[in-house]
Structure formats: structure tokens, C-alpha cells
Amino acid sequence: MLDTESIPKHVAIIMDGNGRWARQNKLSILRGHNAGMLRVKEVVKESDRLGVKYLTVYAFSTENFKRSSEEVSGIFSLVCKFVDSELDEIFENNVKVGVLGDIDKIPENAAVSLKRAIDRTANNDGLVFNVAINYGGRAEITRAARLACKEIINDIGGADAIDRKSLLSRLCDLNEADLSKNMYADIPDPDLVIRTSGEERISNFLLWQIAYSEFVFAKEYWPEFTPDVYRRCIEEYKNRQRRFGSR
Ligand code: FPP
């Protein structure tokens, strides 16, 4: 049994390996993603059971648009299917849904589904479940910098009224907190990042937030990521010593 004290507060997951799992099992890629979607359901439930407070899953990167249009539309259809079939239960379990990424540029039905999930669960105060979709870490940081600069300009009194000296001095004072508060969501940094499928890279995921995260790489493909495998990853995390740069 896992002791609750050292359970990571925020777990972020790079769900990798749906395609390889499908090939291995002689199934279509979309069958692989469908099997992956079923694992998402379980991981949400298991996170809640374990006492994880924030769960963020990487469902679709900005780069994933380079895949075939059939695969891309299939993944977004699965997101709609997930919301349609799971939203009632998610709501009843007090889960609060969030989205990280630019959802203005995803197919409209997926954006509408996700907004429905966000609105319906807005007042829940249990597990926060974030879906990173059309998400890129560099884009998030760039956007945060742009928004922070806009805030400064607005504070000073609008673009026309600005005097160069005070603008420059405010811009030079930009700090980490100014950027942090302009990220897609106000969430704590992940304590644990899990990537499945044996690949060991970050793929533009939460670049700002993972500065001191622990990483666990599981060899299983995402459709094989059972609650048991999840608990094993958390056990591995618990054996880490986190020093955040100190001795
Ligand atoms: C990575 O596997 C997986 C994806 C790019 C898509 C993940 C999407 C889902 C699990 C569907 C629904 C999501 C939610 C949140 C309901 P891959 O295709 O890159 O695998 P490969 O590297 O083996 O080809």
C-alpha cells in the first residue's frame, strides 16, 4: 500500500506508444488511440484514489498536426467521445477539468466538448485534470512573455501614452513570476513526469514547469499503462531525493 504522505501532488504524463502498440497487435492506429483513451479514464480514477491533486496528460502536441488528417481527426473525435461518455462521472467525482494549449485552432467539435467539460466542472474542487491539447511548451512560454509585456503596456496607460524610459525600465524588471502567472493554467509545477513506451525525451511538454520535476520512464506502451504500472511509477518517485538545487 502506498503511504499518502509522499504521493506526488501533480503528476504529468506523456502518453506515448499508441501507434507501436497498435502495430504490435495488428490493429489500426486509431484502435491504438482508442485503447489509449480507455487508459486515460482509468488513470483519472486511480489518481483520485491515490490522492494526487493535479493530473496533466499530453493528448496532442502542436507538432502532432503533421500526422495524417485521418489520424488527427480520429484523435479529436476520441476527445469528443471521452467527454460525451465520461463527463457525468467526472462531474460526480468532483473532478475539475482544465485545458492547456491553443484550443481556438482545433476542430470546433473538440473545442466545444472541452469547453463544455471546463464549464460543467468549474466549481468542482477535487482532482484537477488538465488535458494538454494543441500544446507546445515553447509556444506557451512565448505567449506568456507576450502577455506579460502587454500587461506592462496596459499598466503604463496604453501604447500611445507610454514614455520610453518608464517602458524600458518596467520591461527590464520582468521576472519569473510575471511569466508564471501568464502560463495556460495556474497549476503547481509537476512533481512527477511519466513518459511511457521507453522513449526518454520531453517533446516540448511543460518546459517552464518541469525545472525540478522527477522523471520516470516506463517501458510499457500507453495502452498497457494499467493502474499497477501507474502505482509502480509512483513507488519509483517515492524513492527519489528531491533537493531543488540545495545540498
Ligand atoms: C502518442 O502515441 C499518443 C498520442 C499522440 C495521442 C494521445 C491521445 C489519446 C490517448 C486519445 C484521447 C485523449 C484524451 C485526453 C481523452 P503515438 O501515436 O505517438 O505512439 P507511437 O510513438 O508508438 O507511434
Q: What is the pLDDT of residues 106-125, one digit of tens each?
A: 999 999 999 999 999 999 99
Cell numbers for 140: 506557451
Contact 182, 142 (CB under 8 A): no
Q: What residues does 97 pair with on adjacent strands?
A: 129
Dist. CA 48–CA 128, nearest whole Å: 9
- Using one digit for the tens of pLDDT, what is the confidence trace for 169-205? 889 999 999 999 999 999 999 999 999 999 999 999 9
Dist. CA 161–CA 139, nearest whole Å: 29
Q: Which residues does ligand 1 sit against, CB inside 6 Å?
A: 15-20, 33, 36-37, 40, 57, 59, 64, 75, 78-79, 82, 131, 197
- Residue-averaged pLDDT of the chain: 94
Q: What is the band of 154 on the pLDDT scale with cuts at 50, 70, 90?
A: confident
Dist. CA 187–CA 184, nearest whole Å: 9
Question: Is residue 57 pLDDT above 80, yes or no?
Answer: yes
Q: SS3 of 12, please?
A: strand
Question: Is residue 94 pLDDT above 80, yes or no?
Answer: yes
Contact 93, 129 (CB under 8 A): no
Cell numbers for 98: 482544465
Q: SS3 of 61, please?
A: strand
In ligand 1, the atom with minimum distance to the C-alpha of 64 is 5
Dihedral sign, CA of 230, 247, 175, 202?
Answer: negative
Residues annotated as part of the active site: 16, 64
Question: Is residue 65 pLDDT above 80, yes or no?
Answer: yes
- Using one digit for the tens of pLDDT, what is the confidence trace for 25-55? 999 999 999 999 999 999 999 999 999 999 9
Residue to mutate (ligand 1; options 13, 16, 81; most atoms within 8 A of CB)? 16
